[in-house]
Amino acid sequence: MSGLQPVRGTHDLLPDDMRRHRHVIETARRAALCFGYQEVATPIFEFTEVFKRTLGDTSDVVTKEMYTFTDKGGETVTLRPENTASVARALISGGLNQHLPLKYFYAGPMFRYERPQKGRLRQFHQTGVELLGVREPGGDVEVIAAGVEFLRRLGAWDRCVLELNTLGDTASRQAYRQVLVAYLNDHRGRLSKDSLERLEKNPLRVLDSKDESDQKIVANAPLSSEYLTPEARDFFAAVRDGLETLGISYQINQRLVRGLDYYSHTCFEITCAELGAQKTVLAGGRYDGLVAMMGGPETPGVGWASGVERCAMLLGETPPAPRPVAIVPMGANAERKAAAIAADLRRQDFVVDLGFSGNMGKRMKRANKIAAVAAIILGDEELARGEAALKLLDSGEQKNVRLGDLAAALAPYR
């Protein structure tokens, strides 16, 4: 399909949708700001290597979902499927490791070639935070707390569940990997083709499989918690303790693994059951291996990303549009004056609607349609006295106001 249809899995944000979308992003930005995270933006495309190297050859994102193309200069570039790899790339290319710790917030579109369904798009949007250069469990706690505060401000947190798990450090993962491979090998016959491949390259990822037959085998797999080193155990205990101190409740989910190779220690997801199948609204974890894996200096990191479209579904009422003041001129002389009054009020930050044509009746109708808070009616007689009629559209109350006093008279309805 081409031409006048939007590409499958993409959508337009018309004003009502856009206000919901904007509200989600502003809420996340403000919450992150309160924790000292500053906004950054990376390009929406990168050299393909940035994602290929970090997300791993076996991840769904790399094998199936990337929008990759060759540009006119012959470079292979990819529309970003997520933002963490780009932030790590920015840290390396900008030499930012001189300035650790860094606390970054981002918001913007991401692209994945997936099967579109409710809550799953091909162009979607994420907000997210990244905390770089902090090795302590307090970093994990702060990052999770920022996500919780964001959802609390959205009015969604009391309908959400924070699921928490740890993958441990490298030694824990290696020990667990061995027993997991042994277990999965015993059940090879019932594993999906994808999982057989993962079993060779990155067996932990089998735990993340969405295939039903895989999931049945995974349900009885050994648990990673049994193979944590004492250090990894202590780290996780400190994270849990920090959350408890803040009164943030969570559920341990031992089956939770992040689909990406560079995670270690804490991983978490915040889900909201009312969203159905695509119920994860925020997900993240610690990625101490990422920057080094990309060829940069060893730099610990922890962060999350949250789907804006899924969060927007959790909002109750759509945030209202600002209510304008409508100017309704009657006659050619008033028309000219109307433009000057509109300009003056707009300079003072009033939202002003000035129609382009039509008689008074038509213009009043439009004023009501756009939910104007008031109409400034300009007739020749009033203008001659230096006045206008100010009509409050909710109550119908009308009075004459001197032109110089319009801003003051409108101030309560801004």
Report the site for ligand ATP in 285-324 (rule: CB under 6 A).
305-307, 309-310
What would the two tokens of residue 350 be? 């009033």
Question: Any idea what DSSP says for residue 117?
Answer: B
Sign of CA dihedral 367, 368, 370, 376: positive
Task: Answer yes or no whether residue 280 interacts with ligand ATP by CB under 6 A.
Answer: yes
Q: Tell me the window of 41-49, 96-104, 114-122, 354-362 that interacts with ligand ATP (CB under 6 A).
A: 114-122
Q: How far is the CB of 88 from ligand ATP (least distance, A)?
A: 15
CB-nearer residue toward ligand ATP: 67 or 183 = 67
Task: Answer yes or no whether residue 120 interacts with ligand ATP by CB under 6 A.
Answer: yes
Give the span between the Cα atoms of 388 and 69, in whole angstroms: 60
CB-nearer residue toward ligand ATP: 312 or 390 = 312
Give the span between the Cα atoms of 146 and 310, in whole angstroms: 18
Task: Answer yes or no whether residue 147 interacts with ligand ATP by CB under 6 A.
Answer: no
What are 383's strand-pairing partners? none
Taking residues 66 to 95 in sequence order and writing x for each that binds ligand ATP by CB under 6 A, - otherwise, the string is ----------------x-------------
> Considering only residues 283, 290, 314, 410, which one is a binding residue for ligand ATP as defined by CB under 6 A?
283
> Considering only residues 42, 86, 126, 264, which one is a binding residue for ligand ATP as defined by CB under 6 A?
126
Q: How far is the CB of 137 from ligand ATP (least distance, A)?
A: 21
Task: Answer yes or no whether residue 215 interacts with ligand ATP by CB under 6 A.
Answer: no
What would the two tokens of residue 117 be? 């369904």
Phi and psi angles of residue 126, each rounded to the nearest 5 degrees, phi first:
-130, 150
Residue with the CB atom nearest ligand ATP in the bound state: 307
Question: Any idea what DSSP says for residue 395?
Answer: T
Task: Answer yes or no whether residue 272 interacts with ligand ATP by CB under 6 A.
Answer: no
Say if residues 371 and 343 touch (Cβ distance below 8 Å): no
Task: Write the CA distances from 381 to 244, 364, 400, 401, integer angstroms.
Answer: 70, 19, 11, 13
Close Cβ partners of 7 (under 8 Å, ≥ 6 residues apart): 122, 123
Taking residues 93 to 112 in sequence order and writing x for each that binds ligand ATP by CB under 6 A, - otherwise, the string is -------------------x
Q: How far is the CB of 128 from ligand ATP (least distance, A)?
A: 8
In 173-278, where do the E strands start and end? 251-252, 264-271
Q: Tell me the window of 91-99, 117-125, 332-340, 382-390 that interacts with ligand ATP (CB under 6 A).
A: 117-125
Q: What amino acid occupies position 41?
A: A
Q: b or e along 339-370 (b: 16 or more beta carbons within 10 Å of the residue's beta carbon)?
A: eebbeebeeeebebbbbeeeebeebbebbeee
Of the candidates 257, 259, 286, 281, the residue with the CA atom closest to the CA atom of residue 270:
281
Contacts to ligand ATP by CB under 6 A: 82, 112, 114, 119-121, 124, 126, 259, 278, 280-281, 283, 305-307, 309-310
